[in-house]
Amino acid sequence: MVWLEFLISSAVIVLAATQLAKYGDIIAIRTRLGGMFVGLLLMAGATSLPEVLTTFNSISQGVPNLAAGNLLGSNMFNMVMLAIVDMAGRQQRILRKAMLKHSLTGSLTVFMIGLAIFFILADIDLQIGWVGVDSIVLILVYVLGVYLIQKNDTTIVSVEEEIPEKYPSLLRGIIGFGIAAGVLVAITPMLVRSSSDIAEITGLGTSFIGTTLVAIVTSLPELVTTLAAIKIGADDMAIGNLFGSNMFNMFALGLTDVFYLQGRFLTVIEPAFLLTAIIGLLMTVMALIGNLARIERRLWFLEIDALALIMVYIGGLYLLFLRGG
């Protein structure tokens, strides 16, 4: 029964995430904001809803480390999805075509993850009300980053550029996007609950499950939305969704402190989760270096940088299993 619940909820998430890509592209065209900005803000925010919901549920149940592990583990999985994108693109070389436009997004993602690691290690005991100053800084950096990315987005549609007459309206895009996001919100608790039950049945440690299984299943919308966006030719939205999701996760890490009333949220994160954060940071840096360097070598159908991301991800999971299993 648990496995059936898991499969049904996963299938619904696949369908909802596919519709997110479709209607997100409509909003990008109709608002003339550009695929990269919509991928960063709308797509990343909506597809990260499962992580946010899981995080808030974990806090309400008194398990803050599961919340942190979910967000940090999601960063790792989002980066290995770049390798999956490479496999899906094959001859199109999607990463080569779109990545240069996302160097700012990727750099801001690296900065925010590094900043979160620094705050966890530094343990800065400053608060405004019950919220830590470190969390407020993460929130402000995200807001500033979104502004900079929107300002530098060269994919913004020109005012003079005509939109096809039969193209879906902005209202239809917004309604469709809202419905798809709502379904995602509604079905996520079932997915998380069934995943937790599976974890209990298998006997794996909660730390390992929080940063792997829970992080993976709550990141399924990013995977499906990214592949769906590529299928309809929205490459900028696909890449923006992945980097933007990691940025949003760090924003959510800071935002969680607002709802965590037992003190500063970042101070209760166990040192073991720093390894998860560092692996996510390393993989993000590797993705930036590999693609900005324009490495062209391939092994079979995988480029060297994509293969390296997969290997680091698998190696990282093994280390996490040894430390938190």
Q: Which two tokens stand for residue 265?
A: 């949220």
Number of Cβ within 10 Å of residue 202's Cβ equals 9
Question: Is the pTM of the predicted complex or chain greater than 0.85?
Answer: no
Nearest to 218 by CA among 25, 86, 53: 53
- Residue 2: pLDDT band (50, 70, 90) is confident
Scanning 32-63, the segments in alpha helix (DSSP H) are 35-38, 44-47, 49-60
Place of tokens 């003079």: 160
Q: What is the pLDDT of residue 296?
A: 61
pLDDT tens, position by position, 149-162: 777 665 544 444 56
Work out how many domains the chain is built from and give that number.
Answer: 1
Chain centroid to Cα 272, Å, comes to 21
Q: For the domain that residue 192 is a member of, what is the CATH number?
A: 1.20.1420.30
Nearest to 78 by CA among 223, 186, 260: 223
Helix/strand/coil for 299? strand
**Residue ranges making up the domain that contains 20:** 2-324
pLDDT tens, position by position, 66-101: 777 788 888 898 888 877 776 665 555 555 555 556
> How far apart are alpha carbons 88 and 324 in whole angstroms?
32
Q: Determine what percent of the chain is predicted with pLDDT higher than 90.
A: 7
Sign of the CA dihedral 143, 147, 150, 153? negative
pLDDT tens, position by position, 202-253: 766 556 777 777 787 777 777 777 777 677 666 666 677 778 788 888 988 8
Nearest to 178 by CA among 42, 84, 53: 42
